[in-house]
Amino acid sequence: MTELERKRDRAPVPAGWDYAPAPESRDVVSIEERYGLFIGGEFVEPRSGEHFTTISPAYEEPLAEIAHAGPEDVDHAVTAARDAYENGWSKLLPSERAKYLYRIARILQERAREFAVLESLNGGKPIKESRDVDLPLAAAHFFYYAGWADKLEYAFPHRRPRPIGVAGQIIPWNFPLLMLSWKIAPALAAGNTVVLKPAETTPLTALLFCDVVRQAELPPGVVNIVTGDGRTGAELVKHPGVDKIAFTGSTEVGKAIQRELAGTGKKLTLELGGKAANIVFDDCALDQTVEGIVNGIYFNQGHVCCAGSRLFVQESIAEPLIAKLKRRMTTLRVGDPLDKNTDVGAINSQMQLDKIRELVASGEEEGAEIYQPPCKLPEKGYYFVPTVFTNVAQSYRIAQEEIFGPVLSVLTFRTPEEAVEKANNTPYGLSAGVWTEKGSRILWMAQQLKAGVIWANTFNRFDPTSPFGGYKESGFGREGGLHGLEPYLEFEGGEAFGG
């Protein structure tokens, strides 16, 4: 680091820098007052007779009444999916299936702005992320799997792949439409029908997706959406008419589902929590690395299962790196998710905000040093200031537990071996990042780290062609790529890629 760079890093960032607001218009979205369940190609009233209110976490404003699916409703949806599977979808020419998926992908692109605004409104994520990350990736997954629909024999040569039936899919609130796409696109491409349950706090883009399904003229019953809370998810898991469960969410619920399904013969994939290590060596490109660290933990308010929530820095560069990081944090704009300049939006729910606050308090109590940049939060809504903890010991809760918020724990190491040992010291194993200019070190680290995805000199990069999934308590099975098709297929002579 030159003296000039040092000087620049010490200079204060201008305080009180006011940006003009750049609000994205909400007019592009029209939200119904009340939604039913999407079963057999149409919206129906829930047999449970129950509804709940979905809100916007940024403004604490009620948005719509959402149906709560009870056991009878789940049964109705599974029956519709079974009928659609047996009486059409599974027998359709694969090239015809592909056409529907291409249509969905194109409609998502055409209606991207509408979806992005709704996603930010209901979930709290910044519009620039829903617009530039969630929506393009959601469409890309449908395009990608549309391409495989009529090439399964080539994807899995000599294995005679065939669909498995009805897939029950349960998704979380951090990437509502993207997780829906990760689940529905491969399932349909492989010839299955689905019943999907969105998260309780973020049902609106899944409900808008029903309109896309109709617009694409997908046969009724191929996609069914049942809204509700964890009870609805549990009903779907135990329904005997479901052949496969795909779940993304907390490790705790994932374990409960695995227990429930033990011995039933139902297929299962689990994409669970994480506590990823982002490992920085002293030969890294410092400024780019700081951007990667910020993206790794503050992207989507840290509501990311693969977030780089544990930063391991080589001791020799810890001081300048942390100084640069803190300085960069002062420029993060926290606030209205629908403002195009916002970097960090609203926390998804009051419950999640309470959880973040509780874990941050535990970090302070246990002795870590907290830094939060000066930051004015909106008066209404659920917000949390981007936070970094230094002086963190491996045993602290903030170094062990998934916070799922904009909170980074910094630890240090001296040698690559020590970095590996500390990084692997977690029950999770979803992702990791390595920052160094040495290719051989990247490859060596990738072999040692027990994580499903390892990024080198970048972080949080997703691509539909690339498999994603975990080790250990982060789950099993892969989504994305050819590996993501496998859990939705049966093969002559067993699995293609193994568990």
Which residue's CB comes closest to ligand NDP? Answer: 233
Triad 357, 358, 361: Cα angle to 5°: 85
Distances (CA, A) of 486 to 155, 163, 190, 451, 496: 10, 10, 9, 20, 7
Q: Does 360 bind ligand NDP (CB under 6 A)?
A: no
Taking CB under 6 A as the criterion, the residue among 169, 248, 289, 409 binding ligand NDP is: 248
Task: Indicate the helix (H) or strand (E) that contains 68.
Answer: strand 61-68
Q: Token pair of 382, please?
A: 């659920």
Q: Does 174 bind ligand NDP (CB under 6 A)?
A: yes
Specify the length of the chain in residues. 499
If binding means CB under 6 A, how many residues of this protein chain bind ligand NDP? 26
Q: Does 295 bind ligand NDP (CB under 6 A)?
A: no
Give the pairing type, strands 407-413 and 431-435.
unpaired
Which region, judged by CB under 6 A, interacts with ligand NDP, from 133-141, 230-238, 326-334, 420-428?
230-238
Task: Decide whether 7 or 259 has the Cβ nearer to ligand NDP.
Answer: 259
CB of 260 to ligand NDP, least distance (A): 8
Task: Decide whether 402 or 486 has the Cβ nearer to ligand NDP.
Answer: 402
Taking CB under 6 A as the criterion, the residue among 112, 305, 317, 449 binding ligand NDP is: 305
Provide the CA 333 distance to its chain's centre, in angstroms.
Answer: 22
Task: Decide whether 237 or 277 has the Cβ nearer to ligand NDP.
Answer: 237
Task: Decide whether 245 or 284 has the Cβ nearer to ligand NDP.
Answer: 245
Q: Token pair of 17, please?
A: 């820098």
Residue given tokens 């039933």 in the structure block: 264
Taking CB under 6 A as the criterion, the residue among 229, 282, 366, 418 binding ligand NDP is: 229
Task: Decide whether 344 or 419 has the Cβ nearer to ligand NDP.
Answer: 344
* Window 68-107: contact mask with ligand NDP (x via CB under 6 A): ----------------------------------------
Q: Does 297 bind ligand NDP (CB under 6 A)?
A: no
Catalytic residue positions?
Answer: 271, 305
Task: Decide whether 273 or 452 has the Cβ nearer to ligand NDP.
Answer: 273
Residue given tokens 């599977």 in the structure block: 85
Helix or strand or coil: residue 390?
Answer: strand
Q: Does 256 bind ligand NDP (CB under 6 A)?
A: yes
DSSP string, 128-186: HHIIIIIHHHHHHHHHHHHHHHT-HHHHSTTS--EE-SEEEEE--SSSHHHHHHHHHHH
Give the pairing type, strands 37-39 and 42-44.
antiparallel
Helix or strand or coil: residue 34?
Answer: strand
**Which residues are at the interface with ligand NDP (CB under 6 A)?**
170-174, 197, 199-200, 229-230, 233-234, 237, 248-250, 253, 256-257, 272-273, 305, 352, 355, 402, 404
